[in-house]
Amino acid sequence: MNTVEGAIVMSALTVVVGGLLAGFGTMATASATQSLARDVARAEAMGADGQALAHAKDPDAVVDISPTVHAGVNSVTVRVTAPAPLFDVHAEAVVVAEP
């Protein structure tokens, strides 16, 4: 395979495999970000320090925690943004606050 066509095929395969790896990395980061948002929201709803938990699990993630009221019920809304290989991923979780 010492032809120009072979070189084109090899470079195309390299680009495709690189794109697949970046896509899978982004999907894994999205899943981890959703899990982090859920865990931080649960911790905040129980009165724990959600920011410390978020920093311990993912120091690169940007976490926004805000107490909210939905239909007269106190709740905690957490928004998490994390860098991923292709683009930044975002997740949001809402949990009812413990009385």
Q: pLDDT tens digits for 26-79?
A: 999 999 999 999 999 999 999 889 999 999 998 999 999 999 887 888 999 999
Query: For residues 77 and 54, is the Cβ–Cβ distance under 8 A?
Result: no
| pTM for this prediction | 0.82
Greatest Cα pair distance in the chain: 72
Q: What confidence category does residue 1 fall into, taking pLDDT thresholds of 50, 70 and 90?
A: low
Distance, CA of 31 to CA of 25 (rounded, Å)? 10
Domain count, the chain: 1
69 or 2, greater pLDDT: 69
Give which of 81, 82, 78 is closest to 93, Cα–Cα.
78
Q: Which residues pair with 92 in a beta bridge?
A: 79
Look up the domain containing 64 and give its range.
3-96
Read off φ and ψ for residue 77, nearest 5 degrees.
-110, 130
